[in-house]
């Protein structure tokens, strides 16, 4: 759960399968941030292809509700598109109003049936093409700039009467972008919407007038969602270390210590021979092919472990 220190009592989190997504700090947050004048907290989260997700957000009694008896409007944007807004009032005054809400998707009117429907969020993978035409790259760059970002903007204001509204529909996207438009960014996913399910009743909307003196949101919560591999490429989570040698992993600590001691003794013996200056005799019949780039390695030695397994020792003192 993400909490902005500038607006204590307000919280936002992204959930996958009903579980809060693990949040990772964003090391470069704020360098290219259009919302920089407003307190902004940015986190990375891992997304899963074609997996539905929800946004849980709210404002509780610990928030400072006193000024002008105002309310809060939390406006949700996904990939740069406005999705929905939720109004929260002081729960101590307007009890028993809920101080938390879960956003499952976008509420729209089906053009065919003229009925309100809920289209749930789901992650959709991005594919890239080698298209390099200037107009295509320029267009895709605009899309990529906000792609893979969930934003919740917190506004202070005064709530008026009920109003009727008919938000426009959002079409699903194939998320096919020119590789050049990404400029090396590890953008892996965007958000699409599942087929709509009919709502039991039409949603209600209220007039909301933001406080002029705020000049915009008082806080912004930002979640950058990426696949696990993309998070590794951006060094947000550590890369998976290479697997250890199965033969070495199977040895006990005592066996590894014994092999290390034997190898150390071999290195000491080789050093003494070199420092003594005595010629190193070679067995009769040993020869080198001078047409080769390098001399062949010395014959390997074998030793037997306490487990009965025979292993090969490789002499690393050769040049």
Q: What is the pLDDT of residue 31?
A: 45
Q: What is the pLDDT of residue 120?
A: 96
pLDDT average, residue stretch 61-69: 89
Query: Which tops the pLDDT comparison, 188 or 301?
Result: 188
The reply to whether 154 and 189 lie within a common domain is yes
pLDDT band at 99 (very low <50, low <70, confident <90, very high): confident
The reply to whether 266 and 228 lie within a common domain is no
Task: Please tell me the distance from the alpha carbon of residue 26 to that of residue 116, in angstroms, as a whole number.
Answer: 37
The reply to whether 220 and 304 lie within a common domain is no
Residue 27 CB partners (closer than 8 Å, separation 6+): 235, 236
Q: Residue 119 above 60 pLDDT?
A: yes
pLDDT tens-digit profile of 182-207?
887 889 999 999 999 999 999 999 99
Q: Tell whether 238 is covered by a domain.
A: no
The reply to whether 223 and 190 lie within a common domain is yes
Q: Which residues of 150-168 are buried (b: 16+ CB within 10 A; e: fewer)?
A: bbbbbbbbebeeeeeeeee
Query: Which tops the pLDDT comparison, 274 or 73?
Result: 73
**Percentage helix, strand, coil for the chain under 3-state DSSP, each rounded to 5:** 20, 35, 45
Least confident of 63-72, 138-147, 253-262: 253-262
Q: Tell whether 286 is covered by a domain.
A: yes
Q: Tell whether 170 is covered by a domain.
A: yes
pLDDT band at 299 (very low <50, low <70, confident <90, very high): low
Q: What is the pLDDT of residue 308?
A: 61
Residue 142: name the closest of 182, 90, 104, 110 by CA. Answer: 182
Q: Dump strand ranges (E) for 66-198.
A: 71-78, 81-88, 100-103, 105-109, 116-125, 127-129, 149-163, 176-178, 189-193, 197-198
The DSSP symbol for 9 reads: T
Q: 64 lies in which domain range?
A: 2-233
Q: Tell whether 63 is covered by a domain.
A: yes
The reply to whether 207 and 276 lie within a common domain is no
Rounded percentage of the chain residues whose pLDDT exceeds 70: 77
The reply to whether 257 and 118 lie within a common domain is no
Q: Tell whether 220 is covered by a domain.
A: yes
The reply to whether 261 and 198 lie within a common domain is no
The reply to whether 227 and 253 lie within a common domain is no
Task: Please tell me the distance from the alpha carbon of residue 243 to that of residue 182, in angstroms, as a whole number.
Answer: 32
Q: What is the pLDDT of residue 254?
A: 79
Q: Tell whether 273 is covered by a domain.
A: yes
Q: Tell whether 283 is covered by a domain.
A: yes
Tokens of 62: 């610990």
| 212, 233, 254 - which closes a domain | 233
The reply to whether 85 and 200 lie within a common domain is yes
The reply to whether 277 and 149 lie within a common domain is no
Q: What is the pLDDT of residue 286?
A: 44
Task: Please tell me the distance from the alpha carbon of residue 276 to that of residue 253, in angstroms, as a whole number.
Answer: 35
The reply to whether 156 and 259 lie within a common domain is no
Q: Tell whether 269 is covered by a domain.
A: yes
Q: Could you tell me the pTM of the whole model?
A: 0.72
The reply to whether 60 and 97 lie within a common domain is yes
| Number of separate domains in the chain | 2
| 233, 258, 279 - which closes a domain | 233
């Amino acid at each position: 759960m993400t909490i902005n220190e500038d607006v204590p009592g307000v919280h936002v989190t992204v959930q996958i399968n009903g579980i809060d997504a693990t949040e990772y700090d964003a090391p470069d947050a704020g360098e290219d941030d259009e919302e920089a004048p407003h307190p902004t907290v940015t986190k990375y989260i891992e997304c899963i292809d074609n997996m539905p997700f929800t946004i849980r957000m709210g404002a509780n009694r610990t928030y400072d509700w006193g000024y002008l008896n105002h309310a809060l409007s939390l406006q949700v944007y996904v990939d740069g598109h406005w999705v929905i807004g939720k109004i929260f009032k002081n729960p101590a005054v307007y009890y028993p109003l809920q101080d938390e809400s879960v956003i499952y998707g976008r509420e729209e009117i089906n053009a065919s049936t003229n009925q309100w429907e809920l289209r749930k969020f789901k992650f959709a993978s991005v594919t890239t093409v080698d298209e390099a035409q200037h107009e295509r790259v320029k267009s895709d760059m605009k899309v990529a700039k906000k792609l893979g970002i969930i934003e919740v903007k917190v506004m202070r204001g005064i709530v008026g009467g009920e109003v009727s509204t008919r938000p426009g529909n959002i079409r699903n996207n194939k998320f096919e972008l020119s590789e050049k438009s990404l400029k090396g960014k590890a953008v892996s996913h965007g958000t699409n919407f599942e087929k709509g399910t009919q709502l039991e009743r039409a949603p209600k909307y209220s007039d909301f007038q933001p406080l002029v003196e705020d000049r915009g949101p008082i806080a912004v919560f930002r979640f950058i969602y990426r696949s696990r591999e993309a998070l590794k490429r951006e060094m947000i989570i550590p890369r998976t270390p290479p697997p250890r040698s199965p033969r070495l992993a199977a040895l006990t600590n005592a066996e590894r210590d014994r092999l290390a001691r034997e190898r150390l003794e071999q290195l000491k013996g080789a050093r003494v021979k070199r420092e003594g200056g005595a010629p190193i005799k070679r067995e009769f019949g040993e020869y080198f092919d001078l047409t080769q780039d390098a001399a062949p390695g010395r014959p390997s030695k074998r030793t037997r472990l306490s487990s009965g397994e025979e292993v090969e020792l490789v002499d690393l003192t050769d040049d």
